A and B are shown apart, each in its own frame.
Chain A
Amino acid sequence: RKEVEQDPGPFNVPEGATVAFNCTYSNSASQSFFWYRQDCRKEPKLLMSVYSSGNEDGRFTAQLNRASQYISLLIRDSKLSDSATYLCVVTLNFGNEKLTFGTGTRLTIIP
């Protein structure tokens, strides 16, 4: 079983729609959780950290369910610029440790 599992997609979503991605992780000792975004042939960039209380950044909302070992990302009012691959990432320490990546979920926003 992979340490971090994501639905690879692709998700093809009309502009303005709401889309949600899910991710599960296998190591219950995982401490830190992130969503990274990766554009085609570019490096990954941190989108947001994920906290147990849930957190929101503009149109993006991230949730963590430790009991189910489940992380989610919700994008509201999707924009064409949201088209990218979204990577679910976990680590055993507070970021100061190797990142374990899911294979990513590919999102395409359709005009």
Chain B
Amino acid sequence: GAGVSQSPSNKVTEKGKDVELRCDPISGHTALYWYRQSLGQGLEFLIYFQGNSAPDKSGLPSDRFSAERTGGSVSTLTIQRTQQEDSAVYLCASSKGTSGGSTDTQYFGPGTRLTVL
């Protein structure tokens, strides 16, 4: 079946511009996560959506970052007034969203490589 898809695969923008990154999770997955991976750094959690619950935004680095998930499916990560330090690969993952002690595997999309000039 189809995996997690992300678009665009690459995005080059100028400092100060806004960008939108899109994620299509695996059909039926209720949990969706955004991470970013900077050069030489580990993956860093950004935000997590689970069903209709309020998202966990604890990983967003500044108020220039926001994300929404419409209809419990597609998610958009928006970065306003981009800075050079925002350059990274932005990865989306989804999972079934099971609970109660069972392991829930997260499946990652191919990522969007963002370059801020």
Contacts and interface: CB of A to CB of B under 8 A. Distances in A.
Interface of A: 4, 32, 42-46, 49, 87, 93-104
Nearest to A95: B104
Chain B contact-residue range equals: 20 to 34
B105 to A, nearest CB: 5
Given A102-B42, A103-B42, A42 B31 contact: no
B97 interface: yes
Contacts of A93: 99
B108 interface: yes
Contacts of B65: none
A107 to B, nearest CB: 16
B104 A94 contact: yes
Given A44-B43, A99-B93, A101-B42, 19 more contacts: A43-B108, A43-B109, A45-B108, A49-B103, A87-B42, A94-B100, A94-B101, A95-B104, A95-B106, A96-B31, A96-B50, A96-B97, A96-B99, A98-B48, A98-B56, A99-B33, A99-B35, A99-B106, A103-B41
